[in-house]
Amino acid sequence: MSGLQADIAIYQAQLQRGNIQNAYKGILTFLSCFRTYLSEKHPTHRSRALYAGYMDMSYFSHTPEDIVKRKLKIALVYLHESGSFEAWLCGNNRQIQINMITELSKRELGRFHLSKPLPGVDSIVECSLETKPNFDRPEWLMNELENRLMVFIQEIRDIVA
């Protein structure tokens, strides 16, 4: 057996163990709670719905109004394969993304990685927030991610101003 059918058989065997469902549900629950936490703590920021994804990435946006006015958004992204959190600056659409990448390519971005406008790439700028999150300490993790996200937002404000 090869191809998709073989992958599905492996997938089903892993699901029967129960770990994948528990982990995936835990990650999405954490993200949902974190989104609510940020919305309550930063009510002037726009938080959008959680995108669960296809086990590649899950994210929600949490964006201050001044960045929204530029047709940009800040995404808090969980990358499933690496098990890490990143903050991304994104455009509201592909053309805004391309225009902003072109504009930012002329500037010094310091620690940030400027994305290339390729198919399947949704970010303009990416920044690692946490490479080894401990989901057994959710309050601590939320606090750390919030602090790092707020630093990212301020640095992005300085760059796109």
Mean pLDDT of 21-38: 97
Tokens of 31: 């993200």
Q: What is the pLDDT of residue 53?
A: 93
- Confidence check: pLDDT of 32 > 70: yes
Q: What is the rounded average pLDDT of the residues 58-74?
A: 97
HEC-encoded secondary structure of 52-78:
CCCCCEEEEEEECHHHHCCCEEEEEEE
Neighbours of 155 (CB within 10 A): 18
pLDDT of amino acid 139: 97
Separation of CA 115 from chain center: 14
Work out the average pLDDT over 69-84: 98
Confidence (pLDDT) at 8: 93
pLDDT at position 108 is 86
Element (H, E) at 46: strand 46-47
pLDDT at residue 1, as a whole number:
60
pLDDT digits (tens, 9 = 90+) for 4-14: 999 999 999 99
Please tell me what DSSP assigns to residue 51.
B
Which pTM value belongs to this model?
Answer: 0.92
Lookup: tokens for 91 = 């455009």
> Taking the domains of the chain in order of start, what are their residue ranges?
4-160
Residues 148, 161: Cα–Cα separation, whole Å: 20
What band does 74 get if pLDDT is binned at 50, 70 and 90? very high
CB 113 within 8 A of CB 125: yes
Q: What is the structure's pLDDT at 113?
A: 85
- Residue-wise pLDDT for 121-138, tens only, equals 999 999 999 999 999 999
Q: Do residues 129 and 62 touch, judged by C-beta distance below 8 A?
A: no
CA distance 87 to 123: 9
Question: What pLDDT is stored for residue 118 in this prediction?
Answer: 86
Q: Which two tokens stand for residue 148?
A: 């790092």
